[in-house]
Amino acid sequence: MPRLGKFGMAIAVMEPWETGRLQGAKDLASGLWTSVSGANARAFEVDTVANNLANADTLGFKKDQATFKEYLSVAERENGSAEVPRGPIKDKDFHQLEGRDQAFVLNDGTYTNFRQGPLRVTNSPLDLAMDGPGFLEVSTPQGVRYTRHGGMKVAADGRLVTSEGYPVLSAQPTGLAEQEGNRVPATALGLSVTGTPADPNVSGRFINLRDRGAHFSISDQGELFAGDERIAQVRVAEFKDTRLLRKAGSALFENRDPANVSAGPQRTIVRQGVLEGSNVNPIEEMTALIRANRQFEQDMKALKTYGDLMGRESNDIGKL
């Protein structure tokens, strides 16, 4: 079976969509890879749905959507010559396929849906929800990250931190770095809040709530007051294009392009005593799950059919 041998080689060295080109237009089995690419895409979609549903109750989580695109071999398209039909025109006259319809599904990207999540009232004074497109700016050992999970705490050394222990940054320098002398260094306490990037521009923007009591009020612009005293304004960053944000886990996002931070007036309203839930909609996810499952089954059916055809090709044609 030289054909099958060639086929086997193709599996080893080629990307699936390339095998079609190699096999030529008349190869019966080349359609096999179309269904494989379909099945792969559906499996990826199920992975995405699984992650969305696992995070259906994660504060500040933004759901992912997989997008797919059709991959067509351009060369194969161009080879087809235009045939002008004579006589009555039928459907097939418009599309001279003959195996040149090698279309594969490719995973094009995952798109994070930044739709607002539901707001839940918690009445805890240090819970913040962003009503609008903004993000809180936090300092992590890997650099500045952005989050919409506004469940904040006061660390043992008085710094305002996220649940994960990363310091929340203020919009203007608070001069906390200069007060280093009268603070217990976080390292001495063995805390996980030691993620202090050396950059004074970042460490100078930590917010200190040491000895300020427990009564904080936060204005809708993010200004933090202890009693009548304005301590800091929590930095709320907005982006020109949220699609450029990269997920970093723990509800954190990374912005790789400094020019992406919008400098315009703040459109986000900060709500105190409220948290933003996950924006995963279970109905959408379950629908996507069912659809992906059934499409996967269809791809598998097609794959099985191709398998049967190949079996007949190799065993029955020789008998003629």
Pick out residues in 234-253 that bind another protein (CB under 8 A). Answer: 241, 243-244, 246-251
Pick out residues in 168-227 that bind another protein (CB under 8 A). Answer: 184, 189-191, 210, 213-215
Of 43 and 89, CB closest to another protein = 43
Whole-number minimum distance, CB 64 to another protein, in Å? Answer: 6
Query: What's the number of CA atoms in the CB half-sphere (13 Å) around residue 238?
Result: 16
Q: Does 15 bind another protein (CB under 8 A)?
A: no
Give whole-number Cα distances, 264 to 63, 176, 267, in Å: 27, 27, 9
Q: Does 114 bind another protein (CB under 8 A)?
A: no
Contact 301, 293 (CB under 8 A): no
Query: Which range in 49-57, 129-137, 172-180, 196-204 contacts another protein by CB under 8 A?
Result: 49-57
Hey, is 198 helix, strand or coil? coil
Closest listed residue to residue 139, CA positions, set 105, 171, 167:
167
Taking the CA atoms of 259, 253, 215 and 120 in sequence, report the sign of the dihedral they define.
positive
Q: CA-to-CA distance for 302 and 306, rounded, in angstroms?
A: 6
Pick out residues in 24-43 that bind another protein (CB under 8 A). Answer: 39, 42-43
Contact 104, 37 (CB under 8 A): yes
Q: Does 108 bind another protein (CB under 8 A)?
A: yes
Q: Does 4 bind another protein (CB under 8 A)?
A: no
Whole-number minimum distance, CB 82 to another protein, in Å? Answer: 28
Q: Does 55 bind another protein (CB under 8 A)?
A: yes
Size of interface with another protein, in residues (CB under 8 A): 73
> Which of 10, 29, 41, 59 is in the footprint of another protein by CB under 8 A?
59
Closest listed residue to residue 238, CA positions, set 208, 215, 218, 268:
268
Q: Does 70 bind another protein (CB under 8 A)?
A: no
- Cβ atoms within 10 Å, residue 144: 21
Of 55 and 266, CB closest to another protein = 55
Residue 148 burial by CB count (10 A; 0-12/13-18/19+): exposed, middle or buried? buried
> Which of 293, 312, 314, 315 is in the footprint of another protein by CB under 8 A?
293
Tokens 């195996």: give the residue.
Answer: 99
Of 22 and 310, CB closest to another protein = 310
Residue 229 burial by CB count (10 A; 0-12/13-18/19+): exposed, middle or buried? exposed
> Which of 58, 73, 262, 281 is in the footprint of another protein by CB under 8 A?
58
Whole-number minimum distance, CB 67 to another protein, in Å? Answer: 7
Query: Which range in 61-69, 81-89, 94-102, 195-203 contacts another protein by CB under 8 A?
Result: 61-69
Of 98 and 241, CB closest to another protein = 241
Whole-number minimum distance, CB 56 to another protein, in Å? Answer: 5
